[in-house]
Structure 1
Amino acid sequence: MQTVQGYRFLTVEDADAMTEEENLRLFKKHIGQNLGKMLSMLGFADAIPVRAEGMHITLNDGREILDMTGHVGVLVAGHNHPRIIEARRKWGERRGLETWKFFPSPYQGALCHNLSLIFPEDLEIVFFCNSGAEANEGAMKLAQKYAGPERKMVAFTDISFHGKTHATLTVSGSEQHQNHHFNKLENCHMVKYGDFEALRELVESNLIRKGVSRVGTFIVEAIRTEGVVKPDSRYFQQVRQLCDQYDIALIFDEIYTGFGRTGKMFAFEHHGVSPDICSFSKAFGGGKATFAGFITRPSIYNKAYAKMNEATLHSTTYNGYGEEIVSSLEVLQIIQDERLVENSEEMGAYLLHRLEEVQREYSDLVAEVRGVGLLCCIKFKSKTEKLLRMISSTGSEAMEKFVTGAIITKLFQEHNILTFTPPHDSAQLLITPSLIIRKEHVDQFIEALKQVLGSSLWTVGFSYMKKLKG
């Protein structure tokens, strides 16, 4: 420890020397009791990661873990890609300006230029920030300012997640059951995902005058991440036409799906349409920078922020620090050089093929598998649910946790594979590995999953449920 003004601060070396018990105690005390309990239940608190490289995480007990989560889609190029580390090292050694608040940054300009090349049409004006929620906040503010005071209504979909700030929670349909705790934005209206008529009815039932609707914004995911829900492309073509007809700003949220996750650079490319505003994050920082942004058309941005005194109407302190910028410059180059979008398409098809094989072999436990690129999910059903209902008062969500929690734990503890379940559907595993994944990694995961599904989940499942209720 170090003593500074009477305080005994813990150091990196102190953290390195912590036992698993000390680590979990501090986590529960200072970060979250229930979150710590959840990680402990799944077995994730039994060891401490000491190294991460490519597709693997090394624990302090010597185990090498295959990461099939991509750490919630962040790791487009794997853990600690050497080129990103080298780019950041070179930048740090320059002792250059990090906070470009008072000078135009040539590095930001270069990154914006590169983004304008990979986005279609005239999407070319960029705002940088720190997280997906912040990107969506900025995108919605831009759309609202563009639409003007008469057209404040925002349309969003029933299955969606755009963040956990007040505004983004309001338009996150999948959070509706639990966001009653928080204040919501006014004038936000939910429609069914993939239902064009529901959107058209909302727009046209709120006409102010001919050709002008109170609906000024529609925020949507081109492919819904959880459950991998992909509407028919005609839906988004109709949406694009409707937005053009009524001058509605169409926002595509590509926080999770952007930069190759679905086998195309962006998920909206599957539908042959382009947004007016697009938010992005996660993979954009390459797992080394907490970086996000949104991109828009000049016609949208210049109308919204046309006056000199509106130049900073939307801003953030950490608007593209130098090290974040050079990280993302390198990320985009790696995606191109290593053909990661193409690999996502190829390996995603192979992963889905093998998941379908699992579904056929274990149809009593596997309800459904879906996949687009390396955005895949497997949904489980519980053959023991009827019995569990007879002996337990727990609800259906707990029944789902019994199965998925047991599978996640056995994959991790017995097969050294990291998987996760998304926050809004406990019955599924969301499988989003890094885009550098190879066939041998897919095969390792599938064979382990088969062994887990073919074994008894009772012991680990009841242990999980006991901890859940305790």
Structure 2
Amino acid sequence: MLERQNYDIAALFEARERERFDIHTRYLNEQMVRVLRTIGYDVGFRRGLGQYLYDRNDARYLDLLSGFGVFGIGRNHPALRVALESVLDAELPNLVQMDVPPLAGVLAERLLGKAPYLDKVFFANSGTESVEAAIKFARAATGRSRILSCEHAFHGLTFGSLSLIGDDIFKNGFEPLLGDCAAVPFNDLNALEDKLRTREVAAFIVEPIQGKGVHLPSPDYLKNAAELCRRYGSLFIADEIQCGLGRTGKFFAVDHFDVKPDMILVAKALSGGHVPVGAVLTRKDIYDKLFNRMDRAVVHGSTFAKNDLAMAAGIATLEVIESEKLVENAARTGQRLLTAFKDMAERHELLCDVRGLGLMIGIEFGTPKSLKLRASWTMIETASRGLFCQLITIPLFKEHKILTQVAGHGSRTIKLLPPYVIADDDCAWIEKAFDTVIAESHRVPGAIWSLGKTLIENAAAARRAQAS
């Protein structure tokens, strides 16, 4: 008989929880620990349920990051737990390599039901793996090599995906990257056509809403971009890894723009937050160019991609989204929050723009007009671009128990990606907390600007210590 104490992972978590920073410093990413210590995020999260996190003192926090979009249905949803437990209890014949798993077929069927103009699904383990697969599919289907993406895009951090993103901080130290990739400005059809008309482009991959900064396309951009791709024989790929599966108030973000991509990439929320899963939805003629003979049946794959736990997580997640009407809730609560933030922008000069769809919202800060504020803003932003946003996120976390973060390196935009399950009480919590903190940031001198000076001094001290 198994001795339970040897496999009681909850007890192991409990026993080692307070050592998390020490063991990560010793065995994992020491720099991440330094970041968290600098901004005071050592509260020791011990439990998560729905849209809430609970720290070691059982204080409740509202999570507006949701694992960067992973927890669309919230943390530890009971339906997902039942689904995963049923797989384990059934002792299913998982990952039989000389067989095809039924649950993968079921999940593929349900995903394609949301995009009836597509025919086939390829499963992967993550969003970046889905992007890598899409690159291979596009090259095989078109016989071309060039892949286009957009400036300021984010598509993942594995080698091919990294070659398509628009932020040098992720690329530095890893060049040369995948060859024959190029970027065009987001929302610029002329720049896109200039590249496409060479007829060397296999595919154009674009986030319908750019995650870094939460930038929305003009109303006809995606539809016209897809038309240009068809005209020049290139594939149009929608990367919905973050913005898909209901986040924007429609199941796919492209549904807002009346466009039918040649491929749709999903991941993150499809996992339900427990077992990673990504997927490429595509047309049969594209799929068949890759898997075109029996001896090429395994020309691309991923060992764990169709495992039963991942497929069950995906099936259960789609069922929860449908049965609990979470797409509709994302649309309703997202509109409420957008309206509230736009009202704040009318009253607070540091808040310069609010944009988003559904529960993907960007709150951008910018240079104020009044002299006192402008001097303080300039000091902070000169020391480190995007630092001002931390002067908002830190008090939101410490004083109002709201977890959020900036939309990218050096960004002046705070991004909200809450679970789709948030309620009106949560919206009121968000609105009151943001309004209070933003109002405080307009007081000079004040606690927020003192925090900024402290962060600058700490960063300078850390650089000196590292140099020595």
TM-score between both structures, scaled by the size of structure 1: 0.90
Structure 2 residue identity aligned to 1:460: L
CA contact 1:227–1:370 (8 Å) conserved in 2: no
Q: CA deviation at 1:13?
A: 3.3
* 1:274-293 aligned within 5 A: 274-293=260-279
**Is 2:436 aligned against 1:445?**
no
Who is 2:121 aligned against?
Answer: 126
1:398-418 per-position Cα deviation (integer Å, ceiling 9, x unaligned): 1521x2212211111111111
Q: 1:26 to 1:230 in 2, by over 3 A?
A: same
Whichever residue aligns with residue 147 of structure 1, its letter is T
**The 10-residue stretch of structure 1 (162-171 or 300-309) with the greater mean CA deviation from structure 2:** 300-309
The answer as to 2:431 corresponding to 1:436 is no
The residue number in structure 1 matching 2:192 is: 199
Partner residue of 1:156 out of 146, 149, 171: 149
Distance in 1, matches of 2:375 and 2:160, equals 40
- SS of 2:220's partner is helix
Deviates more, 1:303-312 or 1:405-414: 303-312
Selected match of 1:348 from 308, 330, 334: 334
Secondary structure of the 1:460 match is: helix
3-state DSSP of counterpart to 1:38: helix
- What corresponds to 1:210 in structure 2? none
Partner of 2:402: 417
**8 Å contact from structure 2 (residues 141, 286) kept in 1:** yes
Secondary structure of 1:102's aligned partner: coil
CA contact (8 A) 2:213 2:411 kept: no
1:462 is aligned to 2:453? yes
> CA separation in 1, counterparts of 2:104 and 2:383?
45
Q: In 2, distance between residues paired with 1:382 and 1:82?
A: 46
Judge conservation of contact 1:100–1:321 (CA < 8 Å) in 2.
Answer: no
| Map of 2:30 onto structure 1 | 33
Output one character per residue of 1:279-320: Cα deviation in whole Å (capped at 9) or x when no partner: 110000111111111111001111232122221111111121
Letter of the 1:24 counterpart: F
| 8 Å Cα contact 1:112-1:124 kept in structure 2 | no
Letter in 1 for 2:155: H
Q: 1:23 aligned to 2:20?
A: yes
Matched, 1:146 2:138: no
TM-superposed CA distance for 1:15, in Å, is 3.8
Q: C-alpha separation between the residues in 1 aligned to 2:119 and 2:431?
A: 41
Query: Does the 8 A contact of 2:50 with 2:75 survive in 1?
Result: yes
Question: Which structure 1 residue ranges, 4+ long, deviate > 6 Å from structure 2?
Answer: 8-11
Give the superposition deviation at 1:111. Answer: 0.8
By how many angstroms is 1:228 displaced? 2.1
Aligned twin of 2:3: none
Q: Any idea what the Cα deviations from partners look like across 1:243-268, whole Å, max 9, x if unmatched? A: 21222111110100110111111111
Counterpart contact for 1:133–1:165, Cα < 8 Å: yes
Q: Is 1:167 aligned to 2:160, yes or no?
A: yes
Q: 1:138 deviation in Å?
A: 0.3
Unaligned segments of structure 1, at least 5 residues: 1-7, 207-212
Q: Does 1:85 align with 2:81?
A: yes
1:386 aligns with 2:375: yes
Match of 1:97 in 2: 93
Please say if residues 243 and 249 of structure 1, whose CA atoms lie closer than 8 Å, have aligned partners that are also in contact.
yes
Partner of 1:4: none
Deviation per residue, 1:344-385 (Å, 9 max, x gap):
11111001001112212222x212111211100111236556
Q: 1:168 and 1:41 mapped to 2: Cα distance?
A: 30
Letter in 1 for 2:351: V
Within a 5 Å distance, the mapping from 1:169-318 to structure 2 comes to: 169-173=162-166, 175-176=167-168, 178-182=170-174, 183-204=176-197, 206=198, 213-318=199-304
The answer to whether the 8 Å contact 1:115/1:124 transfers is no
* 2:356 maps to 1:371: yes
CA offsets, 1:71-114, max 9 Å, x none? 21111111111110111112111121222422111111111111
Tell me, yes or no, if the aligned pair for 1:382 and 1:399 is still in contact at 8 Å. no
1:333 matched residue in structure 2: 319
Equivalent-residue separation in structure 1 for 2:353 and 2:383 (angstroms): 17
Q: Percent identity?
A: 28
Task: Work out the CA distance in 2 between the residues paired with 1:440 and 1:164.
Answer: 36
Q: Indicate conservation of the 8 Å contact 1:157/1:193, yes or no.
A: yes
TM-score computed with the length of structure 2 as normaliser? 0.90
Over the aligned positions, Cα root-mean-square deviation in angstroms equals: 2.1
Indicate the SS of the match to 2:238.
strand
The count of residues paired between Structure 1 and Structure 2 equals: 445
Partner SS for 2:405? coil
- Counterpart in the other structure of 1:209: none
